Amino acid sequence: MFENSEYIYIVMEYLSGGPLLNYFKDKKYKLKELRVRDIAHQIATSLFYLKSFGIAHRDMKPDNIMMSSKDEDSEIKLIDFGLSKIIGPKERSKDPFGTIPYAAPEIILRKPYSHSVDIWSLGVTIFFLLTGFHPFDSHDQQELLKKIVRQEPDYAADEWKNISAPAVDLVKKLLTKDKEKRIEIEQVLEHDWITSGNEKLKLMRKKSDTYLEKFNTFSLTKPDDEEEKQ
């Protein structure tokens, strides 16, 4: 950022790929499971990084995820921190922020919440990218709010038939209505679907002590020695 006597200039990274939602639309709402897993892994790593600084994004959705380029395997970037908030380890918030289809039940019920609201939003995003539809949907806003709070997602729909069991398991743990029982971001990054069942990688992550070490291992898709061989 710099300024002169008339203007303030903000120079930001150019993300030529556009929003993830547009990318998904261009693919006719169909992505291979491996691509969804890659995107989910990157989002989860971003959320872990934010949590290490006490930051809750509070508006995590495909519109706020950008593609770095138009390449098929483009990296993603989490943007728009206008509703984000620093929430300490023992703090809770009651602010009714977020976008309704991606908002956690505790936000809708105006109950105290913490960083786990981003975990719920991650679950909705993965569900959407895997199936092409949202876990809770209605043209009537009040009906939509009721579904988010009371109704369970439909995992028996045809769109789930070709989805792997580990993917279904993770989404169910992400979309747990009770925030106290919802999976933690560290557990997401150690989950079999994200690690592809790679025991060596999971062990590396569990042995990491500092946030920096954890972030570095959580960013990997394979252990360092396997990355070097490829």
Q: Read out DSSP for the chain?
A: -EE-SS-EE------TTEEHHHHHHHTTT---HHHHHHHHHHHHHHHHHHHHTTEE-S--SGGGEEESSSSTT--EEE---TT-EE--TT--B----S-GGG--HHHHTT--B-THHHHHHHHHHHHHHHHSS-SS--SSHHHHHHHHHHPPP-TTSGGGTTS-HHHHHHHHHHT-SSTTTSPPHHHHHTSHHHHTT-HHHHHHHHH--SHHHHHHHHH-SS-HHHHHH-
Q: What pLDDT, on a 0 to 100 scale, did the predictor assign at position 196?
A: 79
Provide mean pLDDT across the span 171-194.
94
Mean pLDDT, residues 45-54 taken together: 92
On the question of pLDDT at 59 being above 70, the answer is yes
Is 59 marked active-site? yes
Look at residue 210 in the predicted model and tell me its pLDDT.
63
What mean pLDDT is reported for the chain?
89
Quick one: average pLDDT of 84-100? 89
Out of 24-33, 88-97, 122-131, 164-173, pick the least confident.
88-97
Q: Which residue has the higher pLDDT, 172 or 212?
A: 172
Mean pLDDT of 176-193: 94
Strands 55-56 and 65-67 turn out to be unpaired
pLDDT of 166 strictly over 70: yes
- Angstrom distance (rounded) from CA 216 to CA 182: 24
Q: What is the mean pLDDT of residues 21-46?
A: 94
When pLDDT is averaged across residues 55-80 and rounded to a whole number, the result is 94
What pLDDT digit, counting tens, does each position of 127-159 carry? 999 999 999 999 999 999 999 999 999 999 999
Report the top-level CATH class of 2-197: mainly alpha
Q: Is the confidence at residue 211, as pLDDT, over 90? A: no
Q: Is the pLDDT of residue 225 over 60?
A: no
pTM of the model as a whole: 0.86
Residue range 50-62: average pLDDT? 94
104-129 mean pLDDT: 96
Single-letter amino acid code for the residue at 194: I
Q: What integer pLDDT is reported at residue 195 of this predicted model?
A: 86
Q: Which of 130-134, 192-196, 214-218 has maximum average pLDDT? A: 130-134
- Residue 97's pLDDT band, with cuts at 50, 70 and 90, is confident
Question: In the chain, pLDDT over 90 holds for what percent of residues?
Answer: 77
Catalytic residue among 59, 63, 95, 158: 59
Task: Give the whole-angstrom CA distance, residue 217 versus residue 219.
Answer: 5
Residue 223 reports pLDDT greater than 60: no
Rounded to 5°, the CA angle 125-190-62 comes to 15
